[in-house]
């Protein structure tokens, strides 16, 4: 997990471009960042990450998951938040991020 200062800077940078922090995913034994807004969900996961979304120009809402480790890495998925498989799609993207991070560690 990146430091609290780095986390705060990351959120500020995303906010500058109209991305909103929606969720924080923390791996086992990782403390969640402090000073997270009350409406931001903190969930357990296999990798430390932050989910951001923003209002789309048109169509599905872009959600970006950003790895909160030493290597900068992110994935974007356009999803319909009202779709019944919305949560499943986000979990799938989280899995892809975890796989990519693990592959980088052993490369």
Structural tokens at position 52: 């951001």
> 72 or 50: whose pLDDT is higher?
50
Q: Over 90: is that where the pLDDT of 48 sits?
A: yes
Number of domains in the chain: 1
Alpha-carbon distance 43 to 94, whole Å? Answer: 12
pLDDT for the residue 94: 94
Q: From start to end of the chain, where are the E strands?
A: 20-27, 41-45, 49-53, 61-67, 74-79
Give the domain extent around 99: 4-105
């Amino acid at each position: 997990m990146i430091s609290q200062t780095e986390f705060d800077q990351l959120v500020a940078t995303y906010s500058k471009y109209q991305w909103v922090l929606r969720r924080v995913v923390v791996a086992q034994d990782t403390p969640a960042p402090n000073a997270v807004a009350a409406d931001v969900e903190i969930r357990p996961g296999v990798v430390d990450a932050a989910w951001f979304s923003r209002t789309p120009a048109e169509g599905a809402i872009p959600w970006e998951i950003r790895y909160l480790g030493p290597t900068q890495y992110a994935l974007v998925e356009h999803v319909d938040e009202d779709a019944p498989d919305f949560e499943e799609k986000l979990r799938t993207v989280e899995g892809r991020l975890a796989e990519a991070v693990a592959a980088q560690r052993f490369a």
